[in-house]
Each structure stands twice: as C-alpha cells, then as structure tokens.
Chain A
Amino acid sequence: MKFVDVVKTSNSNLRRSKLRTFLTLLAISIGTFTLALSLGLGQGLRNYISSELGQYKGVNLYQVEKTTLNNFSGLGNHDPIVYNPNKSPSSANYQNNFLSATDIDQIKKVKGVQNLELPYAVVFDYATAPNGTKYEASNSTFLSQNPLNLVAGKTLSATDPGSVLISQKYLPLVGSSDISSALGKKLTLTYKNAKGAISTITLEVKGVYEPSLIQAPIFINSQDAEKIAAEQAPGGAPLFNFVFISKSSDVTDVQIKANLSNAKFTGRSFADINNTLNNIITGVQISLAAFSGIAILASIVGVINTLFMAVLERTREIGLFRALGSKKRTIFYLFSVEAALLGFWGGVIGIFFAFLAQIAINKIAANTFLKGVDGIQLLNIRPSLIVFIIIVISIITWIAGLLPAFKASQVDPIESLRYE
C-alpha cells in the first residue's frame, strides 16, 4: 500500500468514531496548548531580555562585589553557629556586604582593572515640571560605559557636572513635547539630605534616549550624584554593595574575572547577567513544560485506549485486508499512522487555540500590567516552535500507538473473518 494511501485511510478511519476521536484530540490539544503557552512565555521573556541586554553586548563593564557573601540560613531561626575565623562574619542586616574604602582601593589595584566607577544611589523626592506638576524622579548615576540609544543630543562624559540625560517618555518633566526642543531645558529635582532638610538641584538636558525596561528614566552626572549621595548618607560617606569597573585591553574576560576572584571579589559582565536570567527562565520553562508533559502523558493513555478499541472494532476489516493480500506491516502502518495523526491533529488544534490565547493575553498584558512597557510580547510562539511541538507530539502518539498497531498486525485473519 502506498504511504499516501496509508495516511489517507488512517485519516478517514479517525472519522469513524467521531466522539471518541474528539475526546482523544481534546486531551492531546489541552496538553499541546499548555506546552505551547509555557514555551511561548519563556521565549517571549527571553527575547525581551536579549533585546534589552543586547545593547550591553561587547560593553566593557563589570559589576564587582564581595565574594564572601554568607549563605543565607534564615535571620534567626537556627542553632548558634560556631565562629570560624576564615569565614566572613555574618550580620542580620548584611551590612558586612558593603564595600569598604579599602575594598574599593583593592579592586582598583587588581591587575587588568582600568577604571572604577561608583554607582551613587541618589533619592529624589520629585521633579518639578515648568507647569508646576510634580513627578517621581527615579534615576541612576551615569557610567561612562553605559550604552544608551540616544535619539537626540550627546551622551555624558565621566563627570559632566550640571547635566542630565532623560528618557524620551520623560519630556513632560522639562515641559517639552518633542525630542529636539528638550535639549538644553532644565530639569528641577528636589531631595532631602540626611537630616531631612530639603534641597533642589537644576540640571540641563544634554541628551534624550530611547526608554527601556532595565534603564532608569533619568541619568544624572556622577559628579552631582556623588555630592547629593554624600549629603544623603547618614555618616557622610555613601555605601556601595557593588561597583563597576572596565578592564584594560591586555586582559581577557576570563582573566579579569580570575584576577578579581583571587582578590575575593566577584566580577560579572552583562553577558553573564543575561545568561543567569536566561537560565532562570529556562528553569521556569522546564517546570511549566513538565506540567504540560503530565497532561500529554494522560492523553497518551487515551490514544492507546482509542487504538485498542479501534483494533477490536475493526478486527473483521483487518481479516478482510489480510485475505485480500495485505501484508502484516501494512496493517501495522495503518494503525501506527492513525496514532501519529491523532497527535498531529491534537497538536494543530492545541496550537491553534494557544495562538488565539497568545493574541488575547498579549493584548491584555499590554493594556494592563505591561502598560507603558514598549517592545515586550509576553508570549511568543514562533513558527519553528509550532513545527517542533507538532512533530514531537506526533512522534509521542506514534510511539504510544506502536503496541496497538503491533497487536492489529498480529490478528489471525481466519479468526477475524469469523469475528462478529
């Protein structure tokens, strides 16, 4: 029998017991639906992270922190711990993780460290727009290697006092409606010092950049950031959990990390952070896919049951086919292909509904919890993923159908022709 006839015959056999086929397909499609959504979610998040961190690709910037972080064992609900002089002392509030001035000097001296920048954490109470409206003013200190997609103006230099960069979405804070007119405008920021006294600083807009999820909407120059951070620090000296460094060209990525490690510091590039995030997403994806796997496993039992029923129902037909010259393997193909087709159609139905769900969920997400976050598609079921899922499901159900198909091929034609 030609393969195309095997497929056509198996496909038309699916229509014989419509309700049973429908229920089996329903079970498979539910499994496929959840699998497609979980993989689509992971892909969506991965794409977004790659697009966001993509601008950091090749950037010579490392986040450096102490390696001697203690393992978290709960704040207090544990037995007394015997003092170990080789271990960094622990503290309930983890203050020991801050880098001291000595630590920072030590980092500067690590071989291959070219430049060290301090990420001053400045808290502004609000920004006042020219029309008097007050806005929140979340910000970061600009680092010389910080990659921004500028749409107007210039980036900041290492210090550049009195200047600021703002995101395209923050134009109302300087009373502008278009990008070019924002350049040179003043941004007025209000903050409290350590004693609670209110101060104001006015900075000039030097550049406007494309907003992104991981970049702050305001970047202030490091010189002013240092001054305000000192005012806001209770002891007059800002504290840092980590600093940023750039490496010199004579050391490799591996070497700088090894040098930092030898000095008991951990250096991570943005590629490392990207990998870490991707690993987390992969873990979540695998967990979700495992749940889908359980649903698919349950549907496989349905496939096996459906095919065993079909073998019983079509016993006489098998006998007829054998009497008319059909080989055992043709009978085997007919039933195993029928099993694969159950997976194929179940997969197609599941993917179809997952696709509809993707459109709806992405739309709802964009209008609710992801409102204002451009460029993110929560679910991303790619064509290659669709093909992959359908092929995998078809193979799984084909394997599930091997036993019933084998049983069908072994049916005694003489007995089956007598079968009522």
Chain B
Amino acid sequence: MLDVIKVNKVYGKKDKAFNALSDISLPFDKGTSNAIVGKSGSGKSTLLHILIGLDHPTDGTVLYNGKNILKDMNTDSWRGKNVGIVFQQFFLQPNDSVLDNVGLPLKLQGISKKKRNIKAEEALKKVGLEDRMKSKANDLSGGQKQRVAIARALVDNPSILIADEPTGNLDTENGDAIENLLFELQKKLGTTLVIVTHDTDLAKRCERVIYLKDGKVEKDTYKGKK
C-alpha cells in the first residue's frame, strides 16, 4: 500500500553533505503494524516525514497504492484524508474543546461543523472519552490528552496511522494503556500502523520491526505480504 523505494536524503552540500537516509526501500502492507526503531540521529524522524510527504527525499520515491505521493496527487490533501498522526507532545489546541480538537483535521478539509461533530463524537467513543467532549483540552490529564490525539488521528478513518513516540510523554501506566489502545484500534479498524520509537518493548509488539542505524536499514523483520 505504501512503498518507500530507494530513498536517499542528504542534508547540506559538497564536503558538508550529510546522508540522513541511504538507499532505503521499505514496503508497508495494508493493515499491518510496523515499528521503526533506532537511536537518536538514526534517521527515524526523517523517514517518517518523507513517508507522510512533509519532507522531500533527495532521491527515490514514496508510492501510495502505486502513485507517487509528491507528484501524482495533492500531497496535503492526501495526507489529510489518508494519514492520521499521533505526536509525542500531543499538540492539542489547549483552549479548544475536546470535540473541536478531534474535529480539526475535518475542519481543515472543509467539512461542515455538523458532520465533523458527528465523526469526532464517534472517534471519541472509540478512545473512551465521549464524556469529556465539551471539556477544554487543557483540563485533561496526559493520558487523556494522548487519547484525544489518537481520536483526532482516527477521526476520518485513515488507512495509515503514524505514531511518533506515542508514549514518550506518559508514565508507565498511561503509556501501557495508550499502547493497548493503539494496537486494539489498529486491529479493529484494519489500519496500517507505523510507530516510530526507541522503546524496543513497544516495537516488539508490532508485527514487523525496522531497525535503522546511521540512515540505513540495519535489520527488517518483514516477512512479505500476507
């Protein structure tokens, strides 16, 4: 479904050039859970940004269902409709209601308030926060905030769910709960999950683990299409 083909990313020029990613080719199959693991500076975040079209590779392409996400489609619209993103720092609008936060991606797509409220309510039910719809995001605990962020990522039923260190800002108890929720929803909804983490325990819960080191794939547990 999502294919990274011979991607290179070079920062700087000539003698100051730095290879953040070197010759990366990775297929991401529909409905699978994938973890990208590596130390700081291994190229995880760069790969993530290229995967969702926020950054451009120096060489190589990223295909979504066979189409180049940068050339064959409007990347912003594609990302808005097909990719849900969960950040480590939650990135909620603190003074907006939980419902408005969850409906934000739909608002950016130009969907009416009535429709987005219905969808946001459904998404909040999935993460068990339907009773906090009208609360301000700022009034929630860290675990609840990340649940809201997951609901926001899933509000438009994306085919790809990207989670960038989703438990990095949470205590163990809340972290475990968020992990369970992510995997439960991924299975239930059939979403392709890509988790970027340095937490190997979290990574091992995924069907596939990609180890990155110095911008190269050190190890990939990919076993081919199911």
Contact = CB atoms under 8 A, between A and B. Distances in A.
Contacts of B78: 325
Contacts of A45: none
Interface string B102-133: 00110111101100000000000000000000
Contacts of A413: 54
Interface string B128-150: 00000000000000000000000
Given A1-B110, A317-B93, A417-B91, A324 B54 contact: no
Contacts of B91: 316, 320, 417
A323 interface: yes
B107 A325 contact: no
Given A5-B107, A413-B54, A322 B76 contact: yes
A357 interface: no
B77 A325 contact: yes
B36 interface: no
B54 A322 contact: yes
Interface of B: 49, 52, 54-55, 74, 76-81, 83, 85, 87, 91, 93, 95, 104-105, 107-110, 112-113, 152
Nearest to B76: A327
Contact of A325 (B49, B79, B93, B95): B79
Interface in A286-327: 316-317, 320-327
Q: Which 8 A-B pairs have the closest CB atoms?
A: A325-B80, A326-B108, A324-B105, A327-B76, A320-B91, A325-B79, A2-B110, A413-B54
Contact of B80 (A2, A9, A320, A324): A324
A413 B81 CA distance: 18
Nearest to A329: B76
A324 B110 CA distance: 13
A16 B79 CA distance: 28
Contacts of B52: 323
Contacts, number: 53
Among the interface residues B77, B108, B113, B152, which one has the most CB atoms of the partner chain A within 10 A? B108
A69 interface: no
A377 to B, nearest CB: 45
B112 A324 contact: no
Interface string A388-402: 000000000000000
A90 interface: no
A321 B108 contact: yes
Contacts of B87: 320, 417
A323 B108 contact: no
B110 A325 contact: no
Nearest to A420: B89
A191 B30 CA distance: 112
Contacts of A330: 108
10 contacts: A5-B113, A320-B87, A323-B79, A324-B85, A325-B78, A325-B80, A327-B77, A328-B76, A330-B108, A414-B49
Nearest to B112: A2
Contacts of A320: 87, 91
A307 to B, nearest CB: 19
A1 B111 CA distance: 7
